[in-house]
Structure 1
Amino acid sequence: MTGYTDSQGEGGNMAHIIIASHGGLAEGMVDSIGMVAGGAADRIETYSLHPGENPNDFYEAMRERVAHDSEQYIIMCDIKGGSVHNALFRLTEFPNVVVFAGVTLAMALEVVLTVQDRLEPDAAERVLDAARAGVTVSFGGALPTDEAEDEEF
C-alpha cells in the first residue's frame, strides 16, 4: 500500500504510534520529530493519503492489524472530520485504539516522548494540553513586555 511506512520494526510491547495525514505532512512531522527528539522518531509509523487513494483501504488494513493485537494503537490524524480521520476513527470500535484529530508537532512529541506501552485517559488530556499550549498568535507592531518575554522561558 503506498503512502504507508512502518518505522517501528520488530520487538514490541510498546504502543504503536501512527501519524496519518493528507499528502506528506505525516512524513514531514516524523522528520521534524527526529530533529528534536532524535531516535524517538523511529517508533512512529506514518500513513499519507495521496490523490487517487482511498483511506478506507488503509482502514481495512489497520482493522486487520488492530483486531489481532493486544497492544495499543495511538493514531494522530491531521484534520478532524477529514477523510483520513473519518476512516481511521472507525477503529475506535476496538478498545486498544486511541484516535486524536488535529495533530501538532507538540502533540506528537508529547506522545512519542512520554507514552511507552499504553496511553491512559489522564495522560491523553496532558497530550491535548501540550497541543493547546503550543498554539498561539502574535501580532507585529507592539514591543513585547518583560513579562511576556519571561513567560516564554
Structure 2
Amino acid sequence: MRRFILASHAYMSKGIKTSLELILGKQDNLSVYCAYAEGEPFFKPLVIQEVEDHPEDEFVIMTDLLGGSVNNELLELTTKENVHLVTGTNLILAMSILLTCRECDDVAAAIRTCVEDAKTGIVYCNDSEIDSDLDEL
C-alpha cells in the first residue's frame, strides 16, 4: 500500500488536506501532522512511528518549506527505501502526487514529474500573456 503524509508548520497541512478532500473526496491513506500548532513541537516521533508501524508500505511525505525545521527534521527518513520526501508542497503538487503516485510503478520518477508540472501552476497572473492563456481555458 502507498501512504501519503502532509507535514507543515502550524495548520497548513490540515488546510491542504481539507481542500484535497473537497476536490477529490475522502483520502483514507493521507495523514496530517501540524508541527508547532498549539505548542506541540513533537511531530517527528509521530511521523517516524507511522512509518515504523507500516514497514511493508511505501510513504510519500510532503512538507511545506525547504530548509524549514519540519522538512529538516524528516530528512533522516530518506535513508529508508520505502520513504520519499518532497518539500515546497502546495495544493496543486499534493493533488498531483495523490492522483499520480497512488498506483504508479516508479514513485520517484512520478514525483519528479509532479514537481515539474506543479511549477507551471505558479504564475504571476498580471502578465499579459497569462490573460490570453486563461481565455483559452
Q: Same fold (TM over 0.5)?
A: yes
Name the amino acid aligned to 1:79: L
TM-score, length basis structure 1: 0.75
Matched, 1:76 2:70: no
User: 1: CA distance between counterparts of 2:93 and 2:124?
Assistant: 18
Residue 60 of structure 1: how far off its partner (Å): 2.9
| 1:26-59 superposed Cα distances (whole Å, 9 cap, x missing partner) | 11111101111112x33210000125333xx332
After TM superposition, which residue ranges in structure 1, 4 or more long, deviate above 3 angstroms?
A: 142-148
Question: Gaps (5+ residues) in structure 2?
Answer: none
Residue 106 of structure 1: how far off its partner (Å): 0.8
TM-score, length basis structure 2: 0.83
C-alpha spacing 1:71/1:143, structure 2 compared with 1 (3 Å)? closer
Match runs of 1:106-145 below 5 Å: 106-116=92-102, 120-139=107-126
Match runs of 1:33-112 below 5 Å: 33-39=20-26, 41-49=27-35, 50=37, 52-54=39-41, 57-67=42-52, 69-112=55-98
Identity of aligned residues (%): 26
C-alpha spacing 1:94/1:146, structure 2 compared with 1 (3 Å)? closer
Residue 89 of structure 1: how far off its partner (Å): 1.5
> Which structure has the greater CA radius of gyration?
1
